[in-house]
Amino acid sequence: MDRIIAAKNEKSGSFYIFNTPYHCALFLHYLQEKAVFQNSITWYKKDGLSTTKKRFVNNQESILHNGF
C-alpha cells in the first residue's frame, strides 16, 4: 500500500479512501504515522433493497481524506 500511495501522490498531495466504516478504521490506524488525517465523511446510502431479513445490511460508506 505504501508503494501505491507514494507512486500516485506528490509530497504535498492528498488522497481519499472509500470503504466500510470497519475497514476505514483499519486504514486510519495504519496511516496514522504515514499521513495526516484531514476529514472523515459518512455517506448513508438508501437504496431500499434489502437482500436479507435475518441480519443487518451495511448501508453506509465512510470516506477518509488524508494528506501528506
The mean pLDDT values, 10 residues at a time, for the chain of 68 residues are 69 81 86 83 70 68 82
Domain that residue 41 falls in = 2-48+57-67
Query: What pLDDT, on a 0 to 100 scale, did the predictor assign at position 14?
Result: 81
Instruction: Please state the separation of Cα 61 from the chain's center in Å.
Output: 8
Query: What pLDDT, on a 0 to 100 scale, did the predictor assign at position 65?
Result: 84
CA dist 32 and 27 (Å) reads 9
Residue 4 is classified by DSSP as H
* C-alpha separations of 45 from 25, 36, 61, 68 in Å: 19, 27, 8, 29
The number of domains in the chain is 1
Element (H, E) at 30: helix 21-31
Query: What pLDDT, on a 0 to 100 scale, did the predictor assign at position 57?
Result: 65
- The set of cell numbers assigned to 7 is 507512486
* CB distance 31 to 19 below 8 Å: no
